[in-house]
Structures are given as structure tokens and as C-alpha cells.
A and B are shown apart, each in its own frame.
Chain A
Amino acid sequence: MDELLGVAARTVAFALEAGATEADATVTTAQRFSTEARAATVAKLEQSTGHALTVRAFVDGAKATLSTTDLSTDSVRALVREIVESARFVERDPLAGIPLTVEQPTPGDALEIYFAEVAARDPAQKIADAQAMEAATRAYDARIDNSSGSRVSDASITVALANSNGFAGAYRATSVLRATSPIARDGANRRNASYGSAARGYADLESVESIAREAARRAVEMCGARKPGTMRLPVIFERDVAAAVLGDVFGALSAANVANGNSFLVGRIGDRIGSDHVTILDDGLLRRGLGTSPFDAEGTPTRTTTVFERGVLRTYLYDTYYGRKLGSASTGNAAGGSIGPNNFYLAPGTGTFDELIASTARGILVLDTIGFSTESVTGTYSRGARGMMIENGEPTYAIDEFTIAGHLPTMLAAIDAVASDLRFDGAIVSPSFRVAEMTVSGQ
């Protein structure tokens, strides 16, 4: 880590020497492993180490950035000189710059985001895990006769950041992933499903057997799916698709989008937007969290921020620049040139997922969505979907080839139940929840 910090500090010095008034530099190394099995075959095996350097240089508030994979000293010095020169075509913005004060972040070790076991694990074991998921999904049901593969991947990264106000910090982090994508034969159709688990270390990772069983169950469950009618109904978002909805909410909370008028939450701080069930947090300090780090991309220590409290919007999420612009302190959400989540999640409720289903007389359970555009100015939401029809509190038959649509502000206000099934397997996560009414468009 000291070596990387040295590169970062030297890069900052190059920027100042070239005429920058403020600068920061981040060096990242990543050691990555990935394998994919299909049936008994090891289809892919990838192992590499990569490096990257990013620099922000400010000349009296005019900002220029650099990202490069070429870390040789001469090249970095020349590139830094170029970007400092390019800053003269950028308008001076008195708000632009690095954090004024240096705060000491929580030491990375206390956050438990690095596990030495990840880099030490034998590749043969990881390959065997991928093959085992393939075998287990196919053994689950005779209809599962193909797959898009089973993957095991991991990464060990080191991040070092230095800036011209004297910040110098570094941390290490690991991540591991197991996922499988079986395909079930359903007459003339093929039904795919994907399920996986991700964590900082192996202790929090779901077992090969449980991942395979869950993925296989999902593929088989979709057999016989039909297209529903067009109607308004309660919609339950199962936790992974619920997390995708939270992703759209995060976009609207990004102070960059708010400042650019590109959010349905502009001017709404203090307003009741969601129902009582809507408490949303951004937590950079969650132990073992995949979104956890001691400091953000500008060296601001991360923290725990309550964004929505029982439906009331308390704050947007800021980096230094947009904090200054909107009159607030950074919330530690700077992320490589934009604003990103730490561990961003909807607080879980008390009942189980099964109880959530059982309390729904008639509705739709959404298990997967496709599509990605949400009109953030108005929060207009529309997705392709598949899932299950719920009647009398029970899933009855599989449905697909339909859409669900609503407006995000209306949807947040209509969340009338949240389950307890939250798991932290990504930076944006959610328990399953139910929206009292949405438009389902099918036949």
C-alpha cells in the first residue's frame, strides 16, 4: 500500500508542479480471477492483475481529469501536464475543488472488507465449485438440460488516494461471487434463471448447493408461464428486483441529478414522499458490506446517512462539489467522477417473504425485470417483467411477457408492506416489498 500511496503522492506533486492549484490522485490495483463451467467443461479461466491511476487537477476552480493504465513515471508526468494545460478551456467554478479539510477515516481493518483467504484459495477449488453448481442444477429436475454457465469469480483490490491538502489513505478489499444460470426445457420454450451470491469473504457467501437449488427452482418455476391480462393490481417486488427499483431511487437522490434538474425529488427535502414503511439508508461503515469503504473517491470518510425516514425525504447524497452547490456537506458518496452508493438499502420490515405473499389476496409477484430506462425528471417507471400470479395469498401460476408501470413517487407512497429478507450482496440492496397498486400491461 505504501508503494501505491507513493505513486499517488508523486502524481499530486506533478500536478502542482504543472500549475494546478489543487489536485488528487487515486491508484488502484486489482487482482482478478474468474472461471465459468458449462456442464462438466471448464469453459473459461481468466486471471489477471490490472492497474489504474485517476487524477483530478484544478486550476483556480477549472477542472481537468485523467485516467490511465500506463503508470510509468514519465508518461504520468507528461499526461498530467497535458490535463493541467487543458484546464484553461474550462470555466473557473469557485465551488470546484477537493475537500478543504482532511478528516481521519475509520481504519479499513475495522470494517472487515479484506479477507486474505480470497487470494489464497486454490484455483482448482474454485473450478470445482463452478462444476458442482452445474451438476447440482441439472440434478435438481430433469427439465434442466442446459445452462448459460456457472461462474466463480473473485477480486482483491488495493486503493490509495492522496490529495494536495495532505490527505493520504489506502485500503484493501476483497470480493467473491458464485452464480449459476440454468435453463429448463418447457415444451418448445426455454426458461432461464440466474441466481448468485456475493460477499467480501467466504464466510458470508451462500453455499454452492444452496445457490444451485435456488437457481434451478427459479428456472423450473417459470415453466408453463403465460401472459397475464391488462389491469391494476398490487405488485410484490422480490428482493433482487426490489433492489433495482432502489437503484432508480438512488439516481433521483444523487445531488448531481438534483442540481441538473434531472430528478423528481428536486425541492422536496422535508416532504413526505414515501409511506411509513419507507426508511432508506446509505451506510459506508457496514461491517463486511460490499459497498463499504473507509473513505470515498475524494478521501471523505464514509458515514451512515438516513435518506428517507418513515417516508420523509431527509437529504440527498452529495460529493464535495454538489454539496457546496446545494449548501450541504459531502455525505461521502463521491465515486469516480459521479455520485455513487455505499451500502444503500431499504430498512427491512418484520414479516417473512412468505407472510408477505400470504397477506396478498390477489396480486403479482415480480421475480425478474428487463429494461432500464426510468425517466428521472418525472420518475416514470416501466419495465418488462416475469413472475407469478398470486391468488388468495398463494402463488398460483407463472406469468411472463408483460410490463409493470407507475411513477416512482406514487410507488414509494404506495409501499404498504416490507419483508425481512434483506441480504447485503451488493451496494444497492432491498428486502422484498409490495406496492399497493400498479399498472400491469399484458393481453
Chain B
Amino acid sequence: MTDDHLDAAAYARILRAALGAGDYADVFYERRLTSSFRLQDGRVHEAGRSVTQGVGIRVLTGEQAGYAYSDDLSLDALLRTARVAALIAKDGTASTRTVSLDAPRETSGIYGDDTGAALPPTSRTYADLVARADVAARAFDPRVKQVTAFVTDEIQDVVIATSDGCFVRDRRPLVTLGVQCVAHGAAHGSGFFGDGGRTGISYFAQHTPEEIAREAARIAVVNCDAVDAPAGDMPVVVGAGSGGVLLHEAVGHGLEGDFNRQGTSLYSGRVGERVASELVTIYDDGNLPLERGSLAVDDEGVAGQHKVLVERGVLRGYLQDRLNGALMGGASTGSGRRQSFRSMPQPRMCNTYMPAGESTFEEIVGSVRRGLYAKSFQGGQVEISKGDFVFMLGEGYLIEDGKLTAPVRGATLVGNGPDVMTRVVAVGNDARLAARYYTCGKGGQYVPVGVGMPTVKIASVTVGGQDLG
């Protein structure tokens, strides 16, 4: 099945109906197929298939946005939907602009091999992957008692047509394999690990379910012996890779264009100012091969870009979608993303990371007398007006006299964005991207993202454990 019943002329008609008295209109067509398998209790438990298809139509007038969607793809239904979206501009003067579209441009380049992507789950491939994960997790250590594993294989076909003539088609693969283990040792411990990316299911031929399962099992076993995390302010060494969650929360969200146009972010109006230590440079990139946040074009049809957010501590720019970029006198940075055809796009991050510095891991850990090594994170959250944020430990260790000692139980670390970023006192030479399983939520919309970072030392962060020491 394809969207071929909607040709260029149909898109143009819908856009004309939507534009009405508005400044701009766009149409977002989506057909997303997902196949999934889930294993628990040592057996393949469930096969799943999902089809999400529909069209979202948006009309902009000044800073106002009207939106309507339809899962009925008949031209009549879409023209009705366009007129509902156009209600936002009912007080304006009808536009006399013409909308003309040629053939949609096909994107190419940044995704992995998607041959056979998201086939119906009627082959053995998926079930075998989760079954292999189960065997490997249990073989890793006899203390591993419970294993759940899932694999999802998704292909999202989108067509984006805009009243200013952009007409583009993008085909986006995404695979994920995740394993959760519970181990019984001195106490119970749990561990999660996942991998995947914007490519097809053949990815797991090289990056095997066994490797993913062993990492989840290892974390669960480590956590069996974990002690309560400490409480209070202390030096924190943030681990390479998933430490990028720190950048995503402490800085990234606060640079999204909607908050800055509205003046609700603590970073509003601060381009050119120092917002972090000189050691801090932060990029957001929509073009990295395989990464979950990569997009040949964003959900408004704008090409993915490499954006410098912070350069040697100085704020360089915001993440923009079309609406907010235009209202702030600039352009989109290819950051307009949405969860599905049911939602309007918002300015969002793609893959947010920090390049390598000069310190070695040993130097960084060795410089801490008493502190915490936060090796990996489950995720984070931020309140962008004052900039207070949290990040939640996945795997962590105490540092005592420059050495890693006991593992600690899950704890939340809290800080204020610019405050914490100013206290970055060392950046490692070991920059890397995190394992590919992170998803970001904003305004109820969830999109896949990537993060990355070298090992970083922060002079002091508040650690939310229970041990007063």
C-alpha cells in the first residue's frame, strides 16, 4: 500500500483549501509500519504489528497555528480537514497566492540498509533475536532470574508538502532491541540495555542480541550489590556516552526555539553570552549515520543540519522549526519534529553531543577524593524556566581516594543548567555516542533521539541518595 492515490495535484488542492487567509500551510502524510516481538519467562510471548497512517494539516498566521488531522485519506475528508485547520485564520483576508507542486523530491543518504524493513512479522527472524537474548542473559550469570526482551522494526514513510513549494518524501527505518534483567544476589538488582538505530533488522547480525543481553545482565548483577547512593553536594564524574543526557536536559531543551521566542527559557536572549565553562562545546546534529535522532529531512521538510549550540562555553544559537525560526527573524535549523500525524511539529533536538577534550579517564577519576561516578543514565527531565534539571542514574559507583569502589543504587541528581555547566572542570578524550535507545518527551510527544559525551568532571552536583555518610 502506498500514498500514490494522493498526487501532486491533490496535495496542492489540499494546501489551497488550508491556506485560506493564513500565511502558510503544510501537509504531513505518514504511514508507519511496525513489527515487534516480545519475550518473557523464557518464551516468545507475543508478536505485534502496528499500522499508523494519516494526514496532518497545519495553517500558520502570525504566531497562531491551526491544526487538524484525518485517518480517512479520501480527498473529500482531507479537504474537510484542511478547512478545519484553516479556522485559525478566519479573520484574515483570503490569500490569492497560488500553490504549485511538481513531483516530490526523494531523500537519500543518511539511513542504513532498510531492505525488507518492517516486513509483516511472519518470519522467524524477530523471534530468534529475542530468544537468543534470553539464552545469553541467563548464561551470563546464574543470579539472572528474570529476562524480558523486545525487538521492534519500524519503517515510517512521510510526504511533506508546503504552501511555499517544498514537496519531499522520506523513508525512515528504525530498529531497537532491548533487554531487561532482574538478578537475585545479596539484594535484587535490575538492569536494562538496548541498541539499534536508523537501519534495518540486519543490524543485529553484527551487533548481536547476545552482546546487548550480556550488558543488561551485567548491570543487573552489579546492582545486586549496590549500596544506597550518598546524599549531598559532591564532585560527580559523568560517564562517556550516555552522560550526554546531561547536555540534553541541562542545555538542549532550554535552547528550543518555542521557549526562546516566548521568553520562557532561562536561555532566552542570551546568544553570545557565556553559559558554561570554557571546556564545554555542544553540537546537535541531524545527519549522523544510524543515530536515532537523524533525519534526512525533518517533519517540516527541512534538511537535517549540524548546529553549534555552545562553543567553548558561549551560547551560539537555538534549535528552530519553521514557525519559531521565522518569528525570530531567522530560519529553521531542521529541528521541526513530531510524534505522528496527530501532532503539530515542535522544535526538538536530534542527536546532542559534546566533542572530546584532553583529559584521560584515569586522570579524571584519580582527581576525586570522595564523589560519584555516574557511568550511565536512564534519562532526565528539565523545567526550562528556571533551568533546574534532574538526571537519573542507571549504573553508578562511589569514588573514594581516586578509585571506583562500591556500586550505588538508582538515585536522581539535581542541578541548575548554567550552574552545573559552569562547574565542568575536566573533559575526557574518550568522546562517544551513547547506546541507541533514548526517547525524548515534550508536550506529550515522544521522538527518538541520540546523545553523546566524553567523560566529564563536574566540581559539584547534588546527589539524591539516602546515605548521609
Contacts and interface: CB of A to CB of B under 8 A. Distances in A.
Contact of A373 (B65, B81, B410, B415): B410
Contacts of B190: 262, 375-377
B121 A67 contact: no
B187 A402 contact: no
B281 interface: no
B49 A260 contact: no
B264 A42 contact: no
A20 to B, nearest CB: 12
A42 B65 CA distance: 8
B64 interface: yes
Given A46-B66, A64-B48, A401-B388, A372 B466 contact: no
Interface residues of B, number: 85
Interface in B139-192: 145-146, 148, 180, 182, 187-190
Contacts of A262: 146, 180, 182, 190
B53 A93 contact: no
Contact of B386 (A66, A146, A189): A189
Interface string A92-116: 0100000000000000000000000
Contacts of A67: 48-51
Contacts of B411: 380, 382, 403, 405
Name the residue among A377, A404, A407, A442 with the largest chain B CB count within 10 angstroms: A377
Contacts of B386: 189-192, 400
Nearest to A410: B466
Contact of B87 (A45, A183, A192): A45
Contacts of B52: 68-69
Interface stretch (B97-105, B347-355, B457-465): B457-465
A38 interface: yes
A231 B469 CA distance: 11
Nearest to B145: A261
B17 interface: no
Contacts of A91: 43-45
B278 to A, nearest CB: 22
B64 A43 contact: yes
B138 to A, nearest CB: 13
Interface residues of chain B: helix, strand, loop or mixed (majority):
strand
Contacts of A402: 414, 462, 464
Nearest to A29: B71
A70 B182 CA distance: 38
Contacts of A191: 385-386
B262 A403 contact: no
Given A146-B262, A370-B390, A377-B189, A403 B462 contact: yes
A148 B264 contact: yes
Interface in A260-313: 260-262
Interface stretch (B8-16, B225-233, B299-307, B357-365): B225-233
A378 B188 contact: yes
The 7 closest A-B pairs by CB, nearest first: A403-B464, A384-B390, A89-B127, A441-B231, A190-B385, A68-B51, A86-B47
Interface of B: 1, 37, 40-41, 43-54, 62-72, 81, 84, 87-88, 120-124, 126-127, 145-146, 148, 180, 182, 187-190, 228-229, 231-233, 262-264, 266, 342, 344, 378-383, 385-386, 388-390, 392, 409-416, 462-468
Interface of A: 38, 41-51, 63-71, 75, 79, 82-83, 85-87, 89-91, 93, 146-148, 183, 189-192, 227, 230-232, 259-262, 370-378, 380, 382-384, 386, 400-407, 439-443
Given A192-B385, A375-B410, A405-B466, 8 more contacts: A86-B49, A192-B386, A261-B182, A370-B389, A375-B409, A378-B409, A384-B412, A405-B465
